[in-house]
Structure 1
Amino acid sequence: MAEPNKKPLRQIARPFVAGGPSGVSIRDRLKGLTPEDEKVLRAVGEHMGCLASRDLARRCRDGLEHSTDTWAARKRELTAKSSSRWAGSVTSNTHDQWGLSRRAQWQDLMGKKAGIAMIRHRLSLPIGEKGSKRQPGGYRSRNEWFHKMRRLAILEAQYERVNAEREAGRVSVVRGGRRLLKQRHNLDAAKKTKEQWRREWETTRWFLTADGESGKRFGNETIRVTPDGEVSIKLPAPLAHLANDRHGRYVLAARVSFPHRGEEWRDRIETNRAVAYRIHLNVTLGRWYLDASWTRKDLPIVPLEALRAQGVVGVDTNAGHLAAWRLDEYGNPISKPRRFDYDLSGNATHRDAQLRHALTRLLHWAKATGVQAIAIEDLDFADSKTREKHGRRKRFRTLISGIPTGKLRARLLSMCAEAGLGVIAVDPAYTSLWGAQHWQQPLATPRRPATRHQAAAVAIGRRALGHRIRRRTAPPRRHQSDAGGHRTAQARPSDRGREGNRPRVPGPRTRSVRAERGRNAVDQPIQHRSGWVQCQIDLHGHF
């Protein structure tokens, strides 16, 4: 009978094959631009950026009353000041930006709701009451209890404000980024001058993005790139006097080749399939870049059973490293565990490079082992990073925040698609707990102790293969003889040598066999058992 106070285990979701990336993006540098080219690019970026800002403001004013008619009206107004294709790119980008802000608003609302529920729970407990692994206890002192009461009132007021804004369809959007906007008030900490910040702010708000269009020449009529690398731009109507080619186009002096995925990009534009382009300036380096992107459709999905055929590599994601272990198709860990470290300190570029480097080493090792898939947890710590749940445990909150779940998932899916590997996502419930309970000690050796993270990687791999995390239990013995067979036998009927001698086990197997006897179970010296011998003589008259 189950214990009355024991919390029941939650239902474990089935593993599934994670879908690959839906698009591709490549980049090349625009080298050899003339001063006239840069002047034209700046003029187009400033003009279209101004139109994009106005369109975003109008889209935010429309809120939930937005419809296809209002969209068409906005596009008509933008067409008169640019072109129909420029207007389509601006309105499409504006709609995506508004939708992203709407989703971020919902996440903020759910975070505040979780914080309110947690504070109310802890306030309802007596001061000083201890918590458990699943739920925190009461607050430590009366002073902390008082400050949390004030914190609860602040969160409730913020929740009501955000909820009212969401019901009204109002969102907060900053073209150029809120982080860059806040740097203006603290330039010393950002290590920037006022002129440097102003240049970066204006450059970030430019708009030089053109959506692709299938069936048109080279897949894009606004920003056209030929197979030999020539880049030309359809200038907006007010800037048509700057054109140096026919039909109001400006041809740049720079050439692009796209070293990465260049053949795939060239195949698309030669068949006039849609390719979107974006031109942007890196203010710090003073370099211009061109990004090309397109969507992937009807990607082949490998069945789960096919990915399991050659085993998997179980990966446990941690703050600072990835713990991996290879498992065969039966769920047995083979070879040695691997650890791939990364450092997520520093700026965003450094963090992204560290993550890519760790995943590259992981994929190279996985390809060398011959597996077809990588098993990873479907993690989401959105409700576990707040201070309301873990209280003063700042190190633990920092540890959870240091696990790059979102970035890792996106990077892993895209890199595995290029490496020809599948990704099996599993439920993260109890993997660390059960892995340490059932696998950490059996996998440890005197020279190589197994860690909790390596045991969790084995648990993740077994769950991806469809096996139970718990190791196979030994069958009960009927008595002290060998009638029950070898207790931990794993041999199959077709295995060679399954009828051979069992391996020697150090120490006595029964109380009648000493440790120095019995190297082979089927070839043991006869032991003197006087009582048993006398009994046989009495019954049969001979031994």
Structure 2
Amino acid sequence: MGGLREMAAPFVALGPSGVAVRARLKHLTAEDEEVLRLVGDLLGTLASRDLKARCAAGLGHDSEQWAQRKRVLTRESSSRWAGSITKASHDQWALARRGHLTHIHSLEAGIATIAHRLSLPVGEKGSKRAPGGYRSRREWHAKARRLHVLADRLDAARADWQAGVVRVVRGGKRLLKTRHHLQAAHLTEEHWRVRWQAERRFLAADGESGKWYGNETIRVTPDGEVSIKLPAPLAHLANAPHGRYVLAAKVSFAHRGEQWADRVAANRAVAYRIHEDTARGRWYLTASWTIPPARTVPLAVARANGLVGVDTNADHLAAWRLDRHGNPVGEPHRFFFDLSGTADHRDAQVRHALIRLLHWAKRHGLSIAVEDLDFTAEKTREKHGRRKKFRQLISGMPVSRLRARLVSMAAELGIPVVAVDPAYTSKWGAQHWQKPLTSKTRKTTRHDAAAVAIGRRALGHPIRRRTAPPRTHQSDGCGHRTVQAAPVTPGREGNRPRIPGPRTRSVCAGRGANAVDQDAQHRSGRPAEHEFWQQDPLPLSL
């Protein structure tokens, strides 16, 4: 057991800190759409210019440079548009910086794996903890060349990291690369150009508490009227006082509409973003605001009534209810989802599976225990080598999105979510729970057993089941008590109550009172549960 890593303690996951809702802008006139495109193109050009200035500043950027960038943008738009643009540029630079560091860690992990495998003899088998040597001399030579390629990439990435250099594409790197593969993407150059321009537009404004309806730049009244503060070069397009343009469309939020209405009525900050879906020919408005962090319950309270252990898989969620002692209750549940098709279809499938899981936990008043998974370092081609299908399987699992959605949706229903260390849950669950929980009428899978292991770890119990002593030492005569009572539970080692039924119907009243008390019978020594038991080896003479 010395090779096992130290387990992290379970913890109650924090709830979301923000909310975002989206609604469609219906019945826009051709003039409205033209104004939105002109404003978005102008602000997009300013945003690109500001992002370039932010990236050029690198690590030497300070508050004075930020203020100077804002003053330059204010002359060509307005102070509020300039504030939104500079903040977005700073956030985008910071995101690229974090992605750059993740790329460096991925290169380091790949180099370490290749170097380890190159140091082993060709054809040497690996173990569960470390990969073995490469299969052939040809593969060994190819990987030796790749090692030098990755080392050069790592040196260049580290140099850029130290210099503060980041590479950002406004509109998305994936869409930019699609320009060179239009036939494979089933797009024409004209259609691609429309999508590219739509993605590079900037129509987003941060909210400000104390101002009318929480936002002076993009204002939405409680009755759904949307108006935009036009930049200075486009002020001649205004159809309302003070350089504003009022859209003909009315907006209403079906989800969290009451919360949004309460905020705008109280003039609390609400951020808005307007974007065009070129594939559908529609315009959408997204509203977002911050919320106070939900107060998490103590871990002991989340464990009080037991919980639901959930194992995340590529096509379903395996769940099993456990009582507070760690015993599985009832039957396992599986919530399936399909991750094929478009991104919207996959996202809807995940949400539907989570809704069914949360409603089941809500009916029983239980918390949910999940693994604190992170497959960032598990998807590299160097770690799994030829196992391409396995890499694709891991990459297809929506771990981060599923976890974020589960926490936010559970917070709305008041269900605590307990995160546990994922180490060895599948292995130990199958080892200790899959066979005991399998019967003639129930087929227990490894995923179901892993759900039990996750739930027991969240409850603070060891995953291993209590080992029953031999039949002659069992305290119940013909069956040992394997119920997982806590060590401090009163009467844990005492006699079981005599409950009338098939088991005790033949026992007369007053008899069998000491059947489970081995001290009351003519047996030497103390009961088996009060001391360590080990079976002696058979004599060699037999």
Give the TM-score, by structure 2 length: 0.89
Q: Structure 2 residue aligned with 1:459, among 453, 460, 474? A: 453
Percentage identity across paired residues of the two chains: 63
- 1:433 corresponds to which residue? 427
Q: Structure 2 residue aligned with 1:419, among 409, 413, 423? A: 413
The worse-fitting range, judged by mean Cα deviation, of 90-99 and 395-404 is 395-404
Are residues 481 and 45 of structure 1, via their aligned partners in 2, closer, same or farther at CA, if it must alter by over 3 Å?
A: closer
Compute the displacement of 1:7 (Å). Answer: 5.1
> Where in structure 2 are there 5+ consecutive unaligned residues?
513-542
When the two chains are superposed, the root-mean-square deviation of aligned CA atoms in Å is 2.2
The amino acid across from 2:242 in the alignment is: H
Are residues 126 and 249 of structure 1, via their aligned partners in 2, closer, same or farther at CA, if it must alter by over 3 Å?
A: same
Aligned equivalents of 1:347, 1:264: Cα separation in 2: 31
Are residues 136 and 64 of structure 1, via their aligned partners in 2, closer, same or farther at CA, if it must alter by over 3 Å?
A: same
What does residue range 183-262 of structure 1 map to in structure 2 within 5 Å? 183-262=178-257
Are residues 480 and 108 of structure 1, via their aligned partners in 2, closer, same or farther at CA, if it must alter by over 3 Å?
A: closer
Q: Is the 8 A contact 1:268 1:274 kept in 2?
A: yes
Aligned equivalents of 2:286, 2:340: Cα separation in 1: 27
The amino acid across from 2:388 in the alignment is: K
Deviation per residue, 1:185-223 (Å, 9 max, x gap)? 000111111100000000110000000001111110000
Aligned equivalents of 1:465, 1:99: Cα separation in 2: 38
Compute the displacement of 1:481 (Å). Answer: 8.5
- 1:52 corresponds to which residue? 47
Q: Is the 8 A contact 1:503 1:520 kept in 2?
A: no
The amino acid across from 2:468 in the alignment is: A
The amino acid across from 1:159 in the alignment is: L
Compute the displacement of 1:308 (Å). Answer: 1.3
The amino acid across from 1:254 in the alignment is: A
- 1:73 corresponds to which residue? 68
Deviation per residue, 1:493-517 (Å, 9 max, x gap)? 4999624589769xxxxxxxxxxxx
- 2:481 corresponds to which residue? 488
Are residues 503 and 151 of structure 1, via their aligned partners in 2, closer, same or farther at CA, if it must alter by over 3 Å?
A: farther
Q: Is the 8 A contact 2:17 2:293 kept in 1?
A: no
Give the TM-score, by structure 1 length: 0.89
> Where in structure 1 are there 5+ consecutive unaligned residues?
1-5, 506-517, 524-543
Aligned equivalents of 1:311, 1:124: Cα separation in 2: 49
Q: Structure 2 residue aligned with 1:472, among 466, 482, 500? A: 466
Q: Structure 2 residue aligned with 1:405, among 399, 405, 410? A: 399
Compute the displacement of 1:399 (Å). Answer: 2.2
Q: Is the 8 A contact 1:20 1:417 kept in 2?
A: yes
Are residues 240 and 445 of structure 1, via their aligned partners in 2, closer, same or farther at CA, if it must alter by over 3 Å?
A: same
Aligned equivalents of 2:202, 2:316: Cα separation in 1: 38
The amino acid across from 2:105 in the alignment is: M
Are residues 500 and 265 of structure 1, via their aligned partners in 2, closer, same or farther at CA, if it must alter by over 3 Å?
A: closer
What does residue range 44-443 of structure 1 map to in structure 2 within 5 Å? 44-371=39-366, 373-443=367-437
Q: Is the 8 A contact 1:378 1:425 kept in 2?
A: yes
- 2:19 corresponds to which residue? 24
Aligned equivalents of 2:499, 2:84: Cα separation in 1: 74
The amino acid across from 2:480 in the alignment is: R
The structure number with the bigger radius of gyration is 1
Aligned equivalents of 1:15, 1:41: Cα separation in 2: 49
Are residues 44 and 432 of structure 1, via their aligned partners in 2, closer, same or farther at CA, if it must alter by over 3 Å?
A: same
Q: Is the 8 A contact 2:10 2:421 kept in 1?
A: yes
Aligned equivalents of 1:34, 1:55: Cα separation in 2: 31
The amino acid across from 2:497 in the alignment is: R
Aligned equivalents of 2:384, 2:182: Cα separation in 1: 33
Aligned equivalents of 1:489, 1:281: Cα separation in 2: 61
The amino acid across from 2:47 in the alignment is: A
Are residues 219 and 127 of structure 1, via their aligned partners in 2, closer, same or farther at CA, if it must alter by over 3 Å?
A: same
Aligned equivalents of 2:236, 2:146: Cα separation in 1: 60
Are residues 161 and 143 of structure 1, via their aligned partners in 2, closer, same or farther at CA, if it must alter by over 3 Å?
A: same
Are residues 123 and 497 of structure 1, via their aligned partners in 2, closer, same or farther at CA, if it must alter by over 3 Å?
A: closer
**In structure 2, the residue corresponding to 1:51 is in which secondary structure?**
helix
Deviation per residue, 1:315-343 (Å, 9 max, x gap)? 00111111011111111111111111112
Are residues 519 and 193 of structure 1, via their aligned partners in 2, closer, same or farther at CA, if it must alter by over 3 Å?
A: farther
Aligned equivalents of 2:110, 2:409: Cα separation in 1: 36
What does residue range 526-537 of structure 1 map to in structure 2 within 5 Å? none
**In structure 1, the residue corresponding to 2:209 is in which secondary structure?**
coil
Q: Does 1:36 align with 2:4?
A: no
Are residues 489 and 178 of structure 1, via their aligned partners in 2, closer, same or farther at CA, if it must alter by over 3 Å?
A: closer
Q: Is the 8 A contact 1:501 1:520 kept in 2?
A: no
The worse-fitting range, judged by mean Cα deviation, of 28-37 and 361-370 is 361-370
Q: Is the 8 A contact 1:218 1:273 kept in 2?
A: yes
Compute the displacement of 1:398 (Å). Answer: 2.0
Aligned equivalents of 2:83, 2:463: Cα separation in 1: 53
The worse-fitting range, judged by mean Cα deviation, of 180-189 and 486-495 is 486-495
The amino acid across from 1:398 in the alignment is: Q
The amino acid across from 1:191 in the alignment is: H
Compute the displacement of 1:35 (Å). Answer: 1.4
Aligned equivalents of 2:482, 2:202: Cα separation in 1: 68
Deviation per residue, 1:436-484 (Å, 9 max, x gap)? 111111111112111000000001011111111111223577x568698
Are residues 157 and 504 of structure 1, via their aligned partners in 2, closer, same or farther at CA, if it must alter by over 3 Å?
A: same
Q: Is the 8 A contact 2:468 2:474 kept in 1?
A: no
The amino acid across from 2:405 in the alignment is: R
The amino acid across from 2:123 in the alignment is: G
The amino acid across from 1:498 in the alignment is: P
Aligned equivalents of 1:240, 1:85: Cα separation in 2: 15
**In structure 1, the residue corresponding to 2:216 is in which secondary structure?**
coil
Are residues 503 and 403 of structure 1, via their aligned partners in 2, closer, same or farther at CA, if it must alter by over 3 Å?
A: farther
Aligned equivalents of 2:263, 2:219: Cα separation in 1: 13
What is the aligned residue count?
504
Q: Is the 8 A contact 1:27 1:291 kept in 2?
A: yes
Aligned equivalents of 1:500, 1:257: Cα separation in 2: 61
Aligned equivalents of 2:122, 2:501: Cα separation in 1: 61
The amino acid across from 1:103 in the alignment is: R
Aligned equivalents of 1:406, 1:42: Cα separation in 2: 34
The worse-fitting range, judged by mean Cα deviation, of 440-449 and 105-114 is 440-449
**In structure 2, the residue corresponding to 1:460 is in which secondary structure?**
helix
What does residue range 505-516 of structure 1 map to in structure 2 within 5 Å? none
Aligned equivalents of 1:291, 1:487: Cα separation in 2: 60
Aligned equivalents of 2:278, 2:388: Cα separation in 1: 36
Are residues 150 and 483 of structure 1, via their aligned partners in 2, closer, same or farther at CA, if it must alter by over 3 Å?
A: closer
The amino acid across from 2:234 in the alignment is: L
